[in-house]
Each structure stands twice: as structure tokens, then as C-alpha cells.
Amino acid sequence: MSENENDSFRDKNVKEKIAIIIGITLLIIFAMGFVFGLYFFGLAGIFKLLGVQYDSIWSLLLFVIIMFIVSGIFEIFAKLIFMLSVRNITEKTTVLIVRIMIEFTLNWLVLFTVDEFMSSITLSAKTEIIIALLITVIEIVFDDDKDEDDDEKDEDEKNDEDE
């Protein structure tokens, strides 16, 4: 390897620093745009399947943006409530049930709140519950994959210590 490849960020010149910062910023924007796009098109598809009426594509876009922001805020409280609720529970099934209840309640509350503030999209209670349940299942499935990877790493580290 050349000496230039091992330089730290401090040792770079201004052009290189700007290029690195722009590259990282674009990567973050792309990742957030991808997640937002999944949310947007996912909700558009669910709304189509469930027969939800909305005034325009812009009202759907606004709904998703507000939902994204509100759910981000509510997620902080949900994580705190979940951690406090399960810290003394050892059975995985019980932890999963508590998590499903908390996540479902959070998702339904977010949908209900955003729906009440927007007059251009109207969701029935049944539709809110179906969408909240679907989002909950998707979140738990994707988070469980991450948790299983963490559990495997912990077991590997434990096995390494035993050797």
C-alpha cells in the first residue's frame, strides 16, 4: 500500500476533505431517500389495496413525511418503554409479545395522529389497525434479523473467551 492511502483525515488537503464530506453526505442522503421511498411506495401500495382515498399524490407525500417525523419522535419513547418493561423478563416469547404490543400501539398512535391532522387523507379505524399491524410485523422481522446477528456475535465472543 502506498503511504497516501493510510493518511488520516487531518492529513488530507482541503480538496480531499471537501470531497470526503460531500461523498459521505451524498451517501447519507441516498440512504435516507431509499428508506423514505420504501415507506412512500409501501404506503401507497397498502392504501391502494385497502381502498384508502386521498386527494392527490402530494397529500400522500405530506402524509408520509409527517408520519416519518412523528414516528421518529415516538420511537424514542417506545424504545425507553420497551427497555424498562422487559429488563426483568427472561422468557423470549414474553419479550416478543411485549414488543409487539408496544410497537403496534406506537404505530397505531402515529397513524391516528397524522390522520387526524390531515383532512386530505381519511383512514378508517379498521384500516389504521391493519396498517399499524403490518408496519409492526415488518419492523420486528427486520429488527429480529439484526438481533439474531448480535446474538451470534455474542455467542462467538463467549466461545472465544472459553477457549
Within 13 Å, how many C-alpha atoms sit on residue 143's CB side? 11
Residue 104 · residue 140 · CB < 8 Å: no
Q: Which cell is 132 given?
A: 399499524
Which residue, 73, 70, 43, is CA-closest to 57? Answer: 43
Model confidence pLDDT, tens digit, residues 85-116: 888 888 999 999 999 999 999 999 999 999 99
What is the count of structural domains for the chain? 1
Model confidence pLDDT, tens digit, residues 35-80: 888 888 888 898 899 888 888 889 999 998 999 899 989 989 888 9
Let me know how long the chain is. Answer: 163
Structural domain range at position 71: 3-162
